[in-house]
Every structure is written in structure tokens, then in C-alpha cells.
Structure 1
Amino acid sequence: MNPARYERSHLAGVLTLCEAEGWPSFPADPERAHAVLTAPGVTAVAALDGNEVVGFAYLQSDGHIQAHLSLMAVSATHRRPGIGRALIAYAVPLTGAQRVDLVTDTAVKFYSSFDHHTFTGFRIYH
């Protein structure tokens, strides 16, 4: 697996991973998804197996202190050999941030394996 910065050629693979996870926001509008993944302050990376996107991570950051891991997914057929951990290890330094916050309801065991603090949080919708 080779981690790489996100490129437009990775978009179809990212959308496929989002669809597999049941995350509708990116697949609903691929051009918007590409705009989000390349927006200022965003670090987006892909895990590649040859030309196949087998994982991706999307982080937002102020570039100095704080980053937020907004989305990360690894293909069900490629889980367990360390791709998620490799994505985080590759992406976080690219953000320039000292810490990363995230919300998860499915990967608590995975994220708990990192040096971390747990906080109560909220997601506000409008």
C-alpha cells in the first residue's frame, strides 16, 4: 500500500468507499466532493494498491494547532494490515497541526489504540 496526496484520479475510488460505508454526502455530488477534498486547509490522502484506491482520509486544519479527521475509510477487503494507521501517520504531519480531533461511532477500538484523550462532543446540524 502506498499513501499519496489526493488527486482527481482518486475521486471515483473515494466515492466507492463512501458508498460502501453508507456515507451519502460525497457520492451525491462528485464535483462538490472534489472541491471539498482540495479546499484550502484540507489534507486529503489516498491509500493505493497499484491504481486502486483502498482507503482515504480527509482532514481539516488550521495548519498550526488543530486538525479534525472528518472522514476516513478503508475497503472492507483491505482492513487489518495497517492501512488506516498508515493513512493517519502519513496525513497528520501534512496538516501542520499538533493534535487531531475526530468523532466515531464505529471504530472506537481502532482509535483507542492511539495515544489520545476522550471527550464528550456534539455534531450540530442545520
Structure 2
Amino acid sequence: MIVRDLVPSELPSVHQLLCANGWAHRVGSLHEFELLIAASQRTAVATSESGEIIGFARGITDGISNGYLSMVVVAAAHRRQGVGQALVRHVMGTNTSISWVLRAGREGADAFFSSLGFSRSTVAMERTRG
């Protein structure tokens, strides 16, 4: 497995991965997904030895103080193999002065993100989509 920054030519493949893994309602059309990526400061893909895209993550950050981990998606056949952890570490980088937040609503998300140093917060607030 290789984890690296997303390159623009991979947008259709990443879009397809997201749609196939329950994220179609969040990414919209390919054009809408391209706009999401353009507004993201950090994006990463994980590829298999054969070059197939098997995971994706994106983050929104000012690079100094705050960051939001927006998407972490791994193809079903490659889960529980360290792909998601590698993607999260790549997106967060090495600057430990950035506080990263996320929404962990999917089954198993608490355990997964806890293993990466995240903990439940009692100070977060949310305004959901209308």
C-alpha cells in the first residue's frame, strides 16, 4: 500500500470509490466532488500494489491551529488493514499544534479514531444541514 497526495487525474476514480462505499449522498456529482476537492487543503489516496485506489481522506485546515477531518473512506475489501490509519496520519501531517476535529457517526468510528488519539469532546456544537 502507498499513501500519497491525490492528483487531479484520479478524481473520477476517487469519486467512484466514495459512491461505491456509501458516500454518494455527500459527494454529489463528479463536478460537485471536484469543487469539494478544490476547497480542501489536504487530500490523500491509498493505492494497492497494482495501483488501484483503495482509500481516500480529506481535511480542511488553516495549517496552524485548526483542522477538520472530513472524509475517511476505505474500500470494503481493504478495511482493517491499516489503510484508514495511514490516510488519517497523512492528512493530519506532523504538526502537533493543530487541533483536529471530526464527526464520528458511523459504526466502529469511535474505536477507530480513538486508536489515532482522538477522544470524545464535550465542547463541540453542530449545525446540521437543512
Give the TM-score band, short-chain normalised. 0.7 to 0.9
Let me know the Cα RMSD of the aligned residues.
2.1
**Structure 1: gaps of 5 or more residues:** none
TM-score under structure 1 length normalisation: 0.85
TM-score under structure 2 length normalisation: 0.83
Deviations 1:66-122 (A, max 9, x none): 100111100000011101111111111178861210001111211121223311442
- 2:23 paired with 1:5: no
CA–CA distance in structure 1, aligned partners of residues 127 and 95 of structure 2: 22
Q: CA deviation at 1:63?
A: 1.3
Aligned length: 124
The one-letter code of the counterpart of 2:26 is S
CA contact (8 A) 1:5 1:44 kept: yes
Q: SS where residue 9 of structure 1 aligns?
A: helix
- Choose which of 114, 123, 126 in structure 2 pairs with 1:122: 126
Instruction: Give the direction of change, closer, same or farther, for the CA distance of 1:3–1:111 in structure 2 (3 Å limit).
Output: same
- 2:24 paired with 1:20: no
Q: SS where residue 109 of structure 1 aligns?
A: helix
Q: SS where residue 128 of structure 2 aligns?
A: coil
CA contact (8 A) 1:11 1:34 kept: yes
Report percent identity of matched pairs. 27
Instruction: Give the direction of change, closer, same or farther, for the CA distance of 1:97–1:77 in structure 2 (3 Å limit).
Output: farther
Q: Which residue of 2 is the match for residue 43 of structure 1? A: 42
CA–CA distance in structure 2, aligned partners of residues 116 and 96 of structure 1: 13
**Structure 2: gaps of 5 or more residues:** none
Q: SS where residue 68 of structure 1 aligns?
A: strand
CA–CA distance in structure 1, aligned partners of residues 94 and 57 of structure 2: 12
